[in-house]
Amino acid sequence: MGFKIAVLKETASGERRVSAVPETVKKLSALGATVAVEQGAGAGATVSDEAYREAGAEVGDRAAVLKDADLVFAVQGPDAADLAGAKDGVMLAAALDPFGNRDRIDGYASAGIDALAMEFMPRITRAQSMDILSSQSNLNGYKAVLDAAHHYGRAFPMMMTAAGTVSAARVFVMGVGVAGLQAIATAKRLGAQASATDVRSATKEQIKSLGAKPIFVESVEGIEGEGSGGYATEMSEEYKKAQAELVSDHIAKQDIVITTALIPGRAAPRLINDAQIASMRAGSVIVDLAAEQGGNVEGAVAGEAVERHGVTILGAKDMASTMAADTSALFARNLYNFVNAFWADDTDAPVFPDDDELVKGVRVTKDGKVVSERLLAD
């Protein structure tokens, strides 16, 4: 039968995405793989079982899909028990949340599953097309602005009318990674005045290139550059204090604030406290994209809109699922690109060398053991 890839229906509450779409089923089949999709897997992303069949996939129940599968695709990692019936040594590629779900990772090891945590993909040029965090964050940044606009009781662009002028909304983005950059771009497209800050000085030019104003401390030596993987180097205490004062002054003048700061394997850093929220005018909106990881904003609750001091705080939860058709397509392409990069024509199967930088980065379990250096070092 050749190399078989199983595509599972997601079981996590609220999860509407799917890990393969007809486009990637066709591409995987063209490589030589057999693709089997669990019934109803694409329903949340508006992809029918028939669309998968037309693309060349087999469609069946979970037991049939898992039988003889060599590689399992999922969006959120299932429990090891949900893979019962799969052969020993089966590979699993998904977002596994290894730090937040360590017991699940241990379960994969005990079950003999070769688990690949796709969010651990190294941030290097070669891996950009396989980076699920970037592809999903891009749309999260876009949706954060739309959600803010929905809850903000005023217009975003400046409007000049016979009855007078409506001022443009002021949007402040904290954290200029993939999500932050897209939030800036979306806010600008909607006509807002945008500004942004980040602990990495290298992001100033990126902010300016989008037509936004960078908010950085200029008078104190702070960060000279980026650390490994594009993350920040440590700030001096003097810089931290000056930055906090500058941001506090700026937040008080903003209508919309969007926070995006995440630290892999750690709780999200606190960026906005209650006093800063109280300084904003009533009717303002804050969107915390890190709410599921503890939150950047004091009082934020994942999946809820909370009001404090007249300010609405939106705690993002599984935001990518609210745009499931597009986020699924991007996620599916990430997985296809990963498989395609390691596909060996002579064996009609992917070969994942233990010493390859990408494989070492994403592999968390193999041969009954947890092997991820990042997890073992934690």
Tell me phi and psi for residue 87, to 5 degrees: -75, 155
Mean pLDDT value of segment 211-236: 64
In whole angstroms, give the CA distance from residue 290 to residue 315.
Answer: 8
Which is it for the CA torsion 146, 150, 154, 159, positive or negative?
Answer: positive
What's the pLDDT at 271?
Answer: 92
- Please identify which of the residues 76, 134, 136, 206 carries the catalytic annotation: 134
Of 116, 148, 259, 137, nearest in space to 197 by CA: 259
Greater model confidence, 219 or 88 = 88
- Please identify which of the residues 126, 209, 231, 378 carries the catalytic annotation: 231
Return the structure tokens found at 237: 């205490």
123 assigned to active site:
yes
Asked if residues 72 and 41 have their Cβ atoms less than 8 Å apart, the reply is: no
345 assigned to active site:
no
231 assigned to active site:
yes
**Continuous segment of H or E residues that includes residue 87:** none
Residue 317 is which amino acid? K
Confidence of residue 225 (pLDDT cuts 50, 70, 90): very low
What's the pLDDT at 251?
Answer: 96
Asked if residues 268 and 293 have their Cβ atoms less than 8 Å apart, the reply is: yes
Which SS3 state, helix, strand or coil, does residue 330 take? helix
Asked if residues 312 and 182 have their Cβ atoms less than 8 Å apart, the reply is: no
In whole angstroms, give the CA distance from residue 268 to residue 277.
Answer: 18
Strands (E) in the chain, as ranges, are 4-7, 34-38, 58-60, 71-76, 91-95, 114-117, 159-161, 164-166, 170-174, 193-197, 213-214, 256-259, 285-288, 305-308, 311-315, 343-344, 349-350, 365-366, 369-370
Mean pLDDT value of segment 200-228: 78
- Angle (nearest 5°) at CA 119 between 118 and 124: 90
82 assigned to active site:
no
Mean pLDDT value of segment 363-373: 95
- How big is the chain by its Cα radius of gyration, in Å? 22
Instruction: Note if the pTM is more than 0.85.
Output: yes
* DSSP summary character for residue 157: S
Residue-range domains of the chain with CATH:
4-131+324-366 (3.40.50.720), 152-317 (3.40.50.720)
Of 181, 228, 172, 171, nearest in space to 203 by CA: 181
Return the structure tokens found at 291: 């709410």
Return the structure tokens found at 181: 């950059």
Mean pLDDT of the chain: 93
Confidence of residue 235 (pLDDT cuts 50, 70, 90): low
Cα dihedral angle (327, 331, 336, 338), rounded to 10 degrees?
150
Q: For 307-349, what is each residue's pLDDT tens digit?
A: 999 999 999 999 999 999 999 999 999 999 999 999 998 899 9
Residue 249 is which amino acid? D
In whole angstroms, give the CA distance from residue 91 to residue 31.
Answer: 18
In whole angstroms, give the CA distance from residue 293 to residue 27.
Answer: 35
102 assigned to active site:
no
Residue 362 is which amino acid? V
- Please identify which of the residues 123, 154, 270, 308 carries the catalytic annotation: 123
Q: Are strands 213-214 and 349-350 parallel, antiparallel or unpaired?
A: unpaired
In whole angstroms, give the CA distance from residue 286 to residue 263.
Answer: 20
What's the pLDDT at 231?
Answer: 46
Q: Residues near 249 by Cβ (< 8 Å), separated by ≥ 6?
A: none
Counted residue by residue, the chain has a size of 378
Mean pLDDT value of segment 122-130: 95
Return the structure tokens found at 23: 């486009």
- Please identify which of the residues 70, 114, 131, 318 carries the catalytic annotation: 131
Confidence of residue 246 (pLDDT cuts 50, 70, 90): confident
Of 324, 317, 278, 237, nearest in space to 18 by CA: 324
What's the pLDDT at 245?
Answer: 86
- Please identify which of the residues 48, 110, 128, 209 carries the catalytic annotation: 128
